[in-house]
Amino acid sequence: MRVYLDNAATTPIAPEVAACMIPLLQNEFGNPSSSHYLGRQAKAIIENARRTISSKLNCLPSEIIFTSGGTEADNMTFHTAVRKLGVRHIITSPIEHHAVGHTAEFMKELYPDVLVSYVRLDDKGHVNLNHLEQLLAASTEKTLVSLMHANNEIGTLLPLKKVSELTRQYNALFHSDTVQTMGHYTFDLQDLDIDFITCAAHKFHGPKGIGFLYANRKNTIEPMIHGGAQERGFRGGTENLYGIAGLAKAMELAYEDVEGHQQHVQELKSFMMRELEEKIDGVYFIGDTIPERSLYTVLNVSFPKTSKAGMLLFTLDLKGVCASGGSACSSGAVKGSHVLEGINADGSRPNVRFSFSRYTTKEEIEFAVEQLVAIFEKTLI
C-alpha cells in the first residue's frame, strides 16, 4: 500500500480535470493571439476560464492575471508594489513561503531604500496584531503588508478580514499568499478588501505550472515578464491554454461542495490527532490545531526523539507513507525549516507534516498511524 499524505506539496489531478484537458490537448492547438478561427477558439477557452474563476471569487474577470503558478504571482505582486505603486516599506513575517520571503529580501537588494520589517508571531505562528498595528502606525513610507493566509508547513490561519481592516486604516496595500487556501475556502472579494491574492492550481487537484494573481482593479500592474500583449500586456508569452482550462475546472470542482470537503478532511485530521496522541507517547502538534484557526488540510506533528529520529521521513517512505518534513518546495533535502525556527519550535525533535485532500480516506490514515506506531515501538530509547 502507498499512502499519499503530502497534499500541501501538491495534489493529484482530479479525473474530471484530466478529462477536460485531454480533448483540448488533442484538438485545440491554436495560438490565442491569432485572429483566425483556431486562434479565436483558443482565446475563448481562456476567457471562459477567467470568467469561471472570477465568478467563484466574486471579482471582475479583468482582475485575474494568469501566471505559471503561486511563485510567479507572488513575485509579480512585489514587482508591482515596489516598481509601480511606490512601496518603500514591506511588512511581512519570518514564516512566509520563500516565494514571498526571498522576494521581499530581493526587493531590498534591488532597491536599497526599501525597508523590510518582520511582524512578531506567537508560538503557534499567529501574527501579533498589536505589533502589526505599531509597525503600520510608525511607517512613514508607502507600505505593503504581505502575510500568508495559511502557513504551508504548520497550517496556522491569518484572520484576513482583521488584517485587511488594519491595512485600510493605515492606507497600506495588502497582499496575502492564498496558495494553500484557494480551492479550500471560499473568497468573496467584494466583501474582503484586499489588493493581491495568489493561486496555484496544483494545490487543489489542478495541473502544475498554472495559477493566477488577483489584482484589485484599483492597482495597475507592472509586468515582470516582458513580451507580447498577452494578459492585457501584464504578462507576455503565449498562454498555457491547457493549464488555464484545467485550473478553471479544478476551481469549479473545488467549490461544488467546499463545506463537504472541509468536513471530510477535518474529520480525518482530528482522527489522526486523536490516534497519534493515544498511541505514541510524547507526540504533540505544531501550529494551531483549533479548526477555525488552522488549515484543515495540514497537520504538523512533533515526535519524540528516538535513535532513528533523523531517518523518520525515510523510514515512513520505505513503509509506503509519503509525507514531508517542512516545506518540500525548496529541495529534496531535509534541512532546518525557517518556519519552525520562526516560531521557536524545538528543531531537535523529529517533525513531519502530514497533509490531506478530499480524496484521502480513513483507511489511509489508519495505515499511516500503524506504520508510525510500529516505528516508535521499535525505536524508543
Query: Where in 68-87 is the site for ligand PLP (CB under 6 A)?
Result: 69-71, 74
User: Which one, 69 or 223, has the nearer CB to ligand PLP?
Assistant: 69
Query: Where in 166-195 is the site for ligand PLP (CB under 6 A)?
Result: 177, 179-180
Question: Which strands form 298-302's sheet, in the order they lie side by side?
Answer: 284-286, 298-302, 351-355
| Residues in contact with ligand PLP, shown as a per-residue x/- string from 207 to 246 under the rule CB under 6 A | ----x-----------------------------------
Q: What are phi and psi of 266, to 5 degrees?
A: -60, -40
Which residue among 65, 145, 148, 157 contacts ligand PLP (CB under 6 A)? 148
CB of 155 to ligand PLP, least distance (A): 11
Could you tell me which of 11, 40, 32 has the C-alpha nearest to residue 261? 11
DSSP designation for 3: E
User: Is 20 noted as a catalytic residue in this protein?
Assistant: no
103 binds ligand PLP (CB under 6 A): no
Q: Which of 59, 199, 322, 329 is catalytic?
A: 329
97 binds ligand PLP (CB under 6 A): yes
CB of 210 to ligand PLP, least distance (A): 8
The alpha carbon torsion through 151, 197, 208, 331 (nearest 10 deg) reads -40
User: Which one, 239 or 275, has the nearer CB to ligand PLP?
Assistant: 239
User: Which one, 74 or 364, has the nearer CB to ligand PLP?
Assistant: 74
Q: For 146-163, b where at least 16 C-beta lie within 10 A, e where not — what string?
A: bbbbbbbbbbbbbbbeeb
User: Which one, 167 or 180, has the nearer CB to ligand PLP?
Assistant: 180
User: Which one, 155 or 350, has the nearer CB to ligand PLP?
Assistant: 155
Write the CB contacts of 215 (distance below 8 Å, at least 6 apart in sequence): 63, 65, 77, 80, 195, 196, 221
Sole residue written with cell 505562528: 125
Q: What are phi and psi of 310, to 5 degrees?
A: -70, -15
CB of 28 to ligand PLP, least distance (A): 23
250 binds ligand PLP (CB under 6 A): no
**How many Cα neighbours within 13 Å face the side chain of 229?**
3
User: Which one, 329 or 380, has the nearer CB to ligand PLP?
Assistant: 329
147 binds ligand PLP (CB under 6 A): no
CB of 76 to ligand PLP, least distance (A): 12
Q: Which three cell numbers stand for residue 371?
A: 506504520
The alpha carbon torsion through 317, 149, 183, 57 (nearest 10 deg) reads -170
Rounded to an integer, what distance in angstroms lies between the CA atom of residue 189 and that of residue 54?
9
Rounded to an integer, what distance in angstroms lies between the CA atom of residue 334 and that of residue 376?
20
CB of 310 to ligand PLP, least distance (A): 24
CB of 82 to ligand PLP, least distance (A): 19
| Region of 114 on the Ramachandran plot (φ > 0 left; ψ -120 to 50 alpha; else beta) | beta
Could you tell me which of 34, 30, 67, 50 has the C-alpha nearest to residue 251? 50
Rounded to an integer, what distance in angstroms lies between the CA atom of residue 367 and that of residue 1?
8
Rounded to an integer, what distance in angstroms lies between the CA atom of residue 351 and that of residue 300?
7
154 binds ligand PLP (CB under 6 A): no
**How many Cα neighbours within 13 Å face the side chain of 36?**
5
User: Which one, 145 or 375, has the nearer CB to ligand PLP?
Assistant: 145
Cα 149 from chain centre: 8
| Residues in contact with ligand PLP, shown as a per-residue x/- string from 315 to 334 under the rule CB under 6 A | --------------x-----
CB of 153 to ligand PLP, least distance (A): 9
Binding site for ligand PLP (CB under 6 A): 69-71, 74, 97, 99, 148, 152, 177, 179-180, 200, 211, 329
Residues annotated as catalytic (active site), given as ranges: 329
